[in-house]
Amino acid sequence: MSRPPRVSILMPVRNEAQYLPAALDSLFRQTLPDWELVVIDDGSTDATPALLAAAALRDPRVRAKRCEGGGLVAALNEGLAACRAPLIARMDGDDITHPRRLELQANLLDAEPGTGLVACAFRHFPRPALKQGMLAYEAWQNGLHDHEIIMRDLFVESPFVHPSVMMRHDLLVGVGGYRDCGWPEDYDLWLRMAAAGVRFARLEQPLFFWRDHPERATRIKAEYAATAFRACKLHHLVPGFLAGRKSVVMAGAGLEGRAWQRLLAAEGIGVSRWLDVDPRKIGRQLHGAPVIHPHQLCLSGEKMLVAIGVRGAREEFRRLASPLGLREGLDFICVA
């Protein structure tokens, strides 16, 4: 067998014929030539198999394998088992990657042996139809420049676009690969990696282009709905930040905070007090607990979740928390 390549590109696909040629062309233009593409075709019924066969004939670095509709997680794990390189780059069949992406991500991991995963800045496309929420998510994620800021916002949302990352193969396998738990498989992976002490990095150059279209999995699959994200967050918070807790303080008495209250109650964790700045709510009772202003707060060893869904309110809460001596990650965690 020939020596392993420097990078294995892991790509699960299903019915990607419309966009796959552009994705493949972006890989063939990479400035780092020492890669293999491991494609798992999860039961495509369109022209995807023919396109992959043609790509493999064109370039022996392309290795395609078909499986029959086992789903994304099964395809990812099957592909991972076939990857030979020490570095794993993710890629999807409907996106485009910058010619220097693999080179720059691999160089960073080579130069920083203590880093286990490197992402990069990204841009949605096509731009004209993008809604404000997508643009805000893009700006937020691209602003997570280093490990400390990524860890600070780890429970806000997924800090990485999955097909934009490069990871060390042994670390990915060491945390158990991908899991099918009914919530985002990538976000679950980032949280397990963080719990295992993996260090993250991000290249600030926009090296990945994330195609937005109506059939994108993040738009149509239940695993990527807000309820699934909350369930994933709580699953990882319970043995960590919330270990042994029977109650928490909840910052935010709006829809997001109340959604968290219901989820926590199912785990036997109550809300002892609600924090809010809306004068119409302060002084009232919500689910048997008082609503107070942040300046009335004294934690006394309690933990707090910040579930404020209004855009910009998270940073405002951080400005309020600092003079109160509240330490992020120790006293409170932002979950929205």
Min mean pLDDT across 43-47, 156-160, 216-220, 311-315 is at 216-220
Of 230-234, 266-270, 296-300, the one with minimum mean pLDDT is: 296-300
Mean pLDDT of the region 184-213: 97
C-beta atoms surrounding 298 within 10 Å: 8
Domain end (from 168, 197, 227): 227
Beta-carbon contacts of residue 81 (< 8 Å; ≥ 6 apart): none
Strand, coil or helix: 243: coil
Are 179 and 217 part of one and the same domain?
yes
Mean pLDDT of the residues in the chain: 95
- Tell me whether residue 233 is in a domain: no
Which of helix, strand or coil describes residue 45?
coil
Q: What angle do CA 7, 107, 172 make, to 5 degrees?
A: 50
The answer to whether residue 123 is domain-embedded is yes
CB 212 within 8 A of CB 129: yes
> Helices marked H in the chain — which ranges?
20-28, 48-58, 72-82, 101-111, 132-142, 147-152, 169-174, 185-195, 217-220, 226-237, 255-266, 313-321
User: What is the domain-level CATH number for residue 141?
Assistant: 3.90.550.10
Interacting residues of 58 by C-beta distance below 8 A, sequence separation 6+: none
pLDDT in tens, 170-197: 999 999 999 999 999 999 999 999 999 9
| 122 plus 151 within the same structural domain | yes
The pLDDT value given to residue 1: 56
pLDDT digits (tens, 9 = 90+) for 243-269: 999 999 999 999 999 999 999 999 999
pLDDT digits (tens, 9 = 90+) for 147-170: 999 999 999 999 999 999 999 999
Residue after which a domain boundary falls, among 227, 261, 277: 227
Residue 1 maps to a domain: no
Instruction: At 2, give phi and psi (nearest 5°).
Output: -70, 160
Query: Tokens standing for 330?
Result: 């120790």
Same-domain check for residues 23 and 139: yes
Q: How confident is the model at residue 129 (pLDDT cuts 50, 70, 90)?
A: confident
Q: Which amino acid is at 123?
A: R
pLDDT at res. 248: 97
The least confident of 35-44, 208-217, 321-330 is: 208-217
**Which of 227, 259, 279 is the endpoint of a domain?**
227
Identify the pLDDT of residue 279.
93
Top-confidence residue, 265 or 69: 265
Same domain flag for 38 and 182: yes
Write the single-letter amino acid at 229: F
Same domain, 314 and 209: no
The 8 Å CB, 24+ separation contacts for 271-277 are 271/247, 272/247, 272/248, 272/302, 273/249, 273/297, 274/249, 274/250, 275/249, 275/250, 275/251, 275/304, 276/251, 276/252
Number of domains in the chain: 2
The model's pTM: 0.95
Which CATH number covers residue 255? 3.40.50.20
Residues 117 and 248 in one domain: no
Both 216 and 310 in one domain: the answer is no
Q: Which domain holds residue 304?
A: 238-334
**In a shared domain, residues 153 and 217:** yes
